[in-house]
Each structure stands twice: as C-alpha cells, then as structure tokens.
Homo-oligomer: A and B are copies of this chain.
Amino acid sequence: MKTRERILHTSQLLFNEEGEPNVTTVDISNEMEISPGNLYYHFKGKEAIIEALFARFEVTLSDILRAPLEKELSVEDSWFYLYVVFEEIYNFRFFYQNLTNLLHRYDSINRKYKRLMELKTRTAHALLSEVANHGILSIEDEELNQLCESITLLLTYWLTYCDLKGQQLGPPAAIHQGVFQIVHLVAPYLSDEYGHIYRECKALYQAATAELGH
C-alpha cells in the first residue's frame, strides 16, 4: 500500500475507534510509525485527511444509492441492498457520531453531506414509488414523503442510536436490526396480497440474528 493510502486507511480506523475529535495527525503518524513531516507531505492537516475520506465515502455511498436495481428485486436482494447501505455508513461511522460538530467545523463537507442526505431521501422515494406503481405498496403521495423522511432519519442515525443504547450488539446484528426497522416502517403500506413480504423479512431477520447468536 502506498503511504497516502496507508494514511487514509489508518486515519479511518483511528477516527472510527477513538472518535474523530480525539485523534490528531501526530496520533496518526505515530500509529503508522512515520514522521509527522512525511504525513504532512501527503496531507496538509487533519481537515485534508477528513475531506479525502469524505470524498471516498461520498463516491461509494452515491454509487450504491444510484445503482440501477433489477425490475423484479427479490426480498433477499432488497434486504441485502439495505444491508450494504448501512455497512457503508458503519465503515465511516466517525462522520455520523458527531455529525453536527463535524459539519460545523468543515464547511466544504457540510454542503456535500446535505446533498448525500437528499440523495438518500430521493433514492428511498424513487424505489418506493416504483414498488407502489407495481401495486405492492398502497400509499398516498404525502404519506410517501413522510415515510421517506423517516427512512432517511433511520439510515442516518440507527447505528449511532444502537451505540448509545450500549446494547453491545456486533455491527452485523445492529445492521440487520436496522434493516428490519426500515422494513417495519414500510410494512403497514404493503397491499393485502403482499403481506407475505413482511413475514419473509421477519424470517430473514430471525435467521440472520440466530446465525449471529443473538
């Protein structure tokens, strides 16, 4: 791995584990056993590292959210899709842990973050509209908007919320719970003949958590 890449990798790891405000560039170079000068040659400070990590997060999450979905997405595929979105958020969880403060400090990220949050809402809206057009969901426009807000909020804060509750779930269990929580938000709008989708998701959730020993 090139030094620049190793710096990003180590920073992401330390930020996630210690919390971004508690990690300095000196901590990062110490952890890597390189000189602060070497680190400075690649990044002119912590803000530059955070910007590079955010750019990476933005590209990956946007790609996932914009991925063209198959016309006939199976329940398993949909579950896996949501899992991957949460997993990506987990990989960059330090952004989410102190979001307000971080965005307050780094103005360039602030604008980009807002766009990413809007993309979450728009993606949820596009997917659910499509599903509604197929008659699987039965929901009014205005209710759909509110549902997409709740989904965006849940995607944004679920893992932080689990962390605060101190449940000591491993990340896969917390993510499966988050996916099921989103399914639960959508479930009341399933048309009568598609009620089995909720039961299938529940079975998936139970199988996943049983496998993880919860």
Contact = CB atoms under 8 A, between A and B. Distances in A.
Given A114-B166, A117-B164, A165-B114, A184 B146 contact: yes
A153 B158 contact: yes
Contacts of A97: 100-101
A58 interface: no
Nearest to A145: B184
Contacts of A19: 100-101, 104
Interface in A1-59: 19, 21-22
Nearest to A202: B142
Contacts of A163: 100
Contacts of A113: 164
B147 A157 contact: no
A54 B114 CA distance: 30
B104 A164 contact: no
A149 interface: yes
24 contacts: A19-B104, A22-B104, A97-B100, A97-B101, A98-B101, A99-B164, A101-B101, A103-B164, A114-B164, A117-B164, A117-B165, A143-B184, A143-B187, A146-B180, A146-B181, A149-B181, A150-B150, A150-B181, A153-B158, A156-B157, A156-B161, A157-B161, A185-B185, A188-B189
